[in-house]
Structure 1
Amino acid sequence: METERRKMPWANIGIIFSGLAAVVLIMVFFTGYHQLLQTNQKMSEKIEVLEQSTEKLHVAQMTSEQTMQTYLNEQKQIIAQVQQHQDIWKMANAQYLVRLADAELTYENNPALALTLLKTVDDILTPLTDPKLLVLRKALAVDLAQLKTAMTVDVTGIYARIAALNNDLDKLPLPTQQVADQSQDTIDTSKLSWWQRGLVQIKKALKQIVTVRYHENGIPPLVLPNEQVFFYENLHAMLEKSMWALLHRNTEIYRDSLQQTANWIKQYCLPDSPITQSALTTLSDLEKIDINPAMPKIAATLQAFHNYFVQDENPSTPSSQGKNGVAQ
């Protein structure tokens, strides 16, 4: 019995320790579970904060994208406006060049320079994409084709030829001696009576007062030495008159001056001289040149530019455009 009694306390102690261990384990479990719950709650809060931050970032990103898109749209509008202004400036510059080309044709009869100006206009219009330019480009193409076939007058070359001839006028040969007078007095007056000698002296005196010139066998009239300077000056003046007429495209004065120069040379210069023949040939060639040929007009291109700017300033409806097209 005593032995059993001694064993009972130790058994109770084991039970107590087991209970305490179980309680401790339960406490540890609940403590860990509580800490786990707290940790999960904190994680949930952090996740929620992160989600809120992510949402804010997403909203900020969307706002930034919208702002960027708005900025890009504004930039596109600005670029379009700048491009439009550049196109308007290019069109104005092209219209100015067309007017210069028209002035070259009207006042200077210079189709070569007018053609160069219109080619520059075509280069300006080529990159432009405005569909309203179609009519203008067609008119420009027609005028370009006409200018390419227009006859060009080489004013500089013609002027140089006249100037060279003018410099050689003083080399034209003139008759220097009069034809020998067949009736020249060779009578020996020593054998004549006094009244016959007096008659011979009277004849000599009359010959000194009155000179009779004969122009037979194609011999040109004699130009006295003191008159030659005036003759050459008249030729120079007539050629300079033709040069003035060339620069002013006056065909009538140009040809009349050359004809008068040729007539004087034929009348007073030695006809068999190579210098005379060369001068007459040059004058004949110059006289055949048409210094004022008919020039093509570029009125169609000018009108097309005018219509373009009027249409750009006052855009009309399709119906009114159709009416205007029929009216035209």
Structure 2
Amino acid sequence: MSAASPPDDFSPSSTAAAATAPVPATMAVSQSPESLAAAAKTLSRIAFGLLALVALAALVIAIALWQRVSGMQEQLARQSAEAQAQSLEARTLARQAMDTVRDTAARAALTETRVAEVALQRSQLEELMQSLSRSRDENLVVDIESAVRLALQQAQVTGSVEPLLAALKSGDLRIARAAQPRLAPLQRAIQRDADRLRSSASADNGEALQKLDELMRGIDDLPPLNAVAMRGSGLNTWQPEPIPADAAWWERALLTVRGELRSLVRVGRIERPEAVLLAPDQTYFLRENLKLKLLNARLSLLSRQMDTARSELATVAASLNRYFDPASRRTQAAATLLQQLQAQVKNVEPPRIDETLAALTTAAAGR
């Protein structure tokens, strides 16, 4: 039995030795065909199971690979669509950029053309100015002279010396900036004329015009001398007889009736009969005539005709003293306004700048 037990070593050398060694008779007798067929059948089943397992594993692996390939295809399709959209957008942006570049290039070319034209015109203008202009001092003298003469004409027309003072001040500043010793006499003459104009400048006529308007508005409220029916303060005013406080009722009534009867007929001294004999409709025309006189005085004041304005104011003052009640406060206020107006209206001498004009002539002749 010990000789029939299989060896423990399954090395190739032992296998070969076993294959070449003679089979014992007891083993050859025990391995029958039925056992061999069963062993072969078992081996075939094991091989079939292994093949089934391998096929199943291959099928699982194939399904997993198919799913993965499908996911990769979907991702590739999505990425391809996104890439196509980005490509279209990039083409659109590139087209827009090309259009912008084209427009910019056209505008740049147009700008360069215009700049070249402007440069050419500037050079031509400089050449023309250099060929036609005078020297700096000559131009300065001519400009100052034209500005001063224009301002002098405005001052003579309007009666205001402000434009002339502004022109003299501008000329003084320009000469000071030029810093030319040759123009120093002209600068001194301008300064002297400006000081003389400031000292002799007439006051503004705004206040006189306001007083004229106020006087015209108050003409309708002036009480005339022939207003005998009015009670109050005046040349021919009357007051009722005072009634004693301790008088009886019949005495009060008698005094009241006597006062009313005495008010019907009054006797007074007439110093100016033409004013008292003036009819009511003539009083209306008198007021309108005074308004026209004041309006003429206003127009004369605006046009710098001081003699005419003073004459009209004198006529208004004479009519006011002749036909209106001098004891009335309104008449006194109107007379005060007239006196103030006559004091303000003066015969203003037209502005003169003889020294400046002479200095300008000398400076222009010395060029």
TM-score range, shorter chain: 0.5 to 0.7
Amino acid across the alignment from 2:366: Q
Residue 286 of structure 2 corresponds to which residue in structure 1? 231
Say whether the 8 Å CA contact 2:272–2:322 is kept in structure 1. Answer: no
RMSD (Å), alpha carbons: 3.2
Say whether the 8 Å CA contact 2:165–2:194 is kept in structure 1. Answer: yes
Deviation at 1:217, TM superposition (A): 6.4
1:290–1:244: structure 2 CA closer, same or farther, 3 Å change rule? same
Of 332, 336, 340, 1:285 maps to 340
For 1:144 and 1:293, how far apart are their aligned partners in 2?
17
Amino acid across the alignment from 2:227: T
Of 320, 323, 326, 1:271 maps to 326
1:256 corresponds to 2:330 = no
Residue 218 of structure 2 corresponds to which residue in structure 1? 168
1:142 corresponds to 2:192 = yes
Amino acid across the alignment from 1:266: N
Residues 172-321 of structure 1: matches in 2 within 5 Å? 172-174=222-224, 175-177=226-228, 216=270, 220-312=275-367
Residues 74-153 of structure 1: matches in 2 within 5 Å? 88-153=138-203
Residue 207 of structure 1 corresponds to which residue in structure 2? none
1:93–1:215: structure 2 CA closer, same or farther, 3 Å change rule? farther
DSSP 3-state at the match of 1:126: helix
DSSP 3-state at the match of 2:327: coil
Residue 156 of structure 1 corresponds to which residue in structure 2? 206
Deviation at 1:279, TM superposition (A): 0.3
Q: Which range moves more in the overlay, 262-271 or 214-223?
A: 214-223
For 1:145 and 1:123, how far apart are their aligned partners in 2?
15
For 1:106 and 1:158, how far apart are their aligned partners in 2?
20
Deviation at 1:89, TM superposition (A): 4.1
DSSP 3-state at the match of 1:135: helix
Deviation at 1:232, TM superposition (A): 1.0
Say whether the 8 Å CA contact 1:122–1:140 is kept in structure 2. Answer: yes
Say whether the 8 Å CA contact 2:309–2:345 is kept in structure 1. Answer: no
Say whether the 8 Å CA contact 2:186–2:359 is kept in structure 1. Answer: yes
Residues 15-94 of structure 1: matches in 2 within 5 Å? 88-94=138-144
Q: Deviations over 1:271-302 (max 9, x none)?
A: 22111110011101111224322355212211
For 1:217 and 1:309, how far apart are their aligned partners in 2?
70
Say whether the 8 Å CA contact 1:249–1:291 is kept in structure 2. Answer: no
For 2:215 and 2:222, how far apart are their aligned partners in 1?
11
Say whether the 8 Å CA contact 1:111–1:295 is kept in structure 2. Answer: no
Residue 22 of structure 2 corresponds to which residue in structure 1? none
DSSP 3-state at the match of 1:132: helix
Amino acid across the alignment from 1:239: L
Aligned residues: 203
Deviation at 1:143, TM superposition (A): 1.0
Q: Any gaps of 5 or more consecutive residues in structure 1?
A: 1-77, 181-212, 313-328
For 1:245 and 1:225, how far apart are their aligned partners in 2?
30
For 2:314 and 2:347, how far apart are their aligned partners in 1?
18
Deviation at 1:93, TM superposition (A): 2.6
1:300–1:266: structure 2 CA closer, same or farther, 3 Å change rule? same
1:214–1:248: structure 2 CA closer, same or farther, 3 Å change rule? farther
Q: Deviations over 1:185-230 (max 9, x none)?
A: xxxxxxxxxxxxxxxxxxxxxxxxxxxx986267841432222221
Amino acid across the alignment from 2:160: N
For 1:223 and 1:217, how far apart are their aligned partners in 2?
14
Amino acid across the alignment from 2:183: L
Deviation at 1:244, TM superposition (A): 2.5
Identity of aligned residues (%): 24
DSSP 3-state at the match of 2:178: coil
Deviation at 1:150, TM superposition (A): 1.1
For 2:136 and 2:185, how far apart are their aligned partners in 1?
21
For 1:244 and 1:215, how far apart are their aligned partners in 2?
40
DSSP 3-state at the match of 2:202: coil
Deviation at 1:106, TM superposition (A): 3.4
For 1:259 and 1:114, how far apart are their aligned partners in 2?
32
Moved over 6 A (4+): 81-84
Say whether the 8 Å CA contact 2:193–2:353 is kept in structure 1. Answer: yes
Structure exhibiting the larger radius of gyration computed from Cα positions: 2
Say whether the 8 Å CA contact 1:235–1:261 is kept in structure 2. Answer: yes
Deviation at 1:88, TM superposition (A): 4.5
For 1:142 and 1:226, how far apart are their aligned partners in 2?
59
